[in-house]
């Protein structure tokens, strides 16, 4: 993982926090209902930049898993 990827992840989390408020990372990792609520709230207030960041992160995670 490259340093600029960490910057993208950090910026994404900052934008998510703006949309969602305080986040419970453990619930986000394991609670499907919380995940659903979290991402729906983020998407409802998202702009193109956060959606682009999410796509970039999803693609990166997909390539590191496979």
CA atoms within 13 Å, Cβ hemisphere of 26: 0
Determine the pLDDT at residue 19: 77
Please determine, for residue 13, whether its predicted confidence score (pLDDT) is greater than 70: yes
Please determine, for residue 1, whether its predicted confidence score (pLDDT) is greater than 50: no
Does the pTM surpass 0.85? The reply is no
Spatial CA neighbour of 38 closest among 56, 58, 13, 63: 13
């Amino acid at each position: 993982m490259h340093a600029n990827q960490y910057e993208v992840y950090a910026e994404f989390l900052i934008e998510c926090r703006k949309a969602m408020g305080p986040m419970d990372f453990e619930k986000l990792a394991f609670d499907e209902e919380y995940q659903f609520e979290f991402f729906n709230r983020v998407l409802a207030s998202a702009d193109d930049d956060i959606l682009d960041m999410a796509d970039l992160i999803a693609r990166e995670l997909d390539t590191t898993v496979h």
